[in-house]
Copies of this chain bind each other. A is one copy, B any other.
Amino acid sequence: MATSEVQLEVVRTRGELRRALAAAPRPIGLVPTMGWLHEGHRSLIQRARSENATTVVTIFVNPRQFNSPEDLARYPRSEGRDLAICAEEAVDLVFAPPVDEVYPPGFDTTVSIGAVGQPLEGAARPGHFEGVATVVAILFALVGADRAYFGQKDAQQVMVVRRMAIDLALPTDVIACPTVREADGLALSSRNVHLSAAEREAAPILHRALLAARSRWAAGERSAKTLRQVMSDELALEPLAKVEYTSVADGQTLRELARVDGAALLSLAVRFGSTRLIDNEPLP
């Protein structure tokens, strides 16, 4: 299927995917997406292209990782635009399956991750990480990729997926790539499209709150409680921001810390109207 000068192959079924990959040069790099591609995805694709002989992008809005039907229904979709971006980036193969190719009739399997999937997004969005771990296990098995690329913006997702891939002996290395941001600091997210003009203007407060806490940490502050308070205080300056959580957690386990002595993750979830945004900053 030609969508530009570059020949982009788009497949829809497990069988087509297997056939298309049978003779693909290795290593294979995979960029799993839910579509509505933005510059963050583009950076993942470019990294995959630079490190692999074949680059595969999957476009699948995974119903199992949405914890509300409304959120699933309003998730933005535009396959034509996504395929044009993939063609521009010289992706070799796009897998854009219907739901029943990922979850065949009678599908009844769940992959769940323990401790690292429980706090933060796991607590806020029941079932979310089971949905993520299950679909990524399937995609990793189907593609048999050597490497898969995820955005650091979803830091806990990266940890859940990496744990799953190691534990289930899947052959895919999970690679976290830096969060891509707008000029004003807002992390790119497909959900940003839902922000009103006023909310969009307010949304960089997430990054400012993280940077404020990072500055205090860099100045020597080690109390996690204080660092959480720094984020909360910053967020309180923005009336449109409804804080869901601010967290200072262990960088390996995501358990909330009392003191920051080693690697840690600053993270937060904030609602603007009906749109929920997350962001994070790893320490150091």
Contact = CB atoms under 8 A, between A and B. Distances in A.
A115 interface: yes
Contact of A110 (B106, B111, B142): B111
B14 A169 contact: yes
A25 interface: no
Interface string A153-178: 00000000001101111110000000
B137 A168 contact: yes
Given A14-B169, A169-B14, A108 B138 contact: no
Name the prevailing secondary structure of the A interface residues: mixed
A109 interface: yes
A141 interface: yes
Interface string A90-107: 000000000000011011
A114 B14 CA distance: 22
A266 interface: no
A106 B14 CA distance: 32
Contacts of A163: 106, 108-109
A114 B167 CA distance: 21
Contact of A167 (B109, B133, B167): B109
Nearest to A139: B169
Given A114-B110, A164-B109, A138 B169 contact: yes
A116 interface: yes
Interface residues of A, number: 27
A192 interface: no
A112 B109 CA distance: 6
Contacts of A137: 168
A141 B111 CA distance: 14
Nearest to A14: B169
Contacts of A106: 163
A171 B15 CA distance: 12
A113 interface: yes
7 contacts: A107-B167, A108-B115, A109-B113, A110-B114, A138-B168, A138-B169, A141-B168
Given A109-B112, A109-B167, A138-B168, 10 more contacts: A104-B167, A107-B167, A108-B114, A109-B111, A109-B114, A109-B163, A110-B114, A111-B111, A141-B169, A141-B170
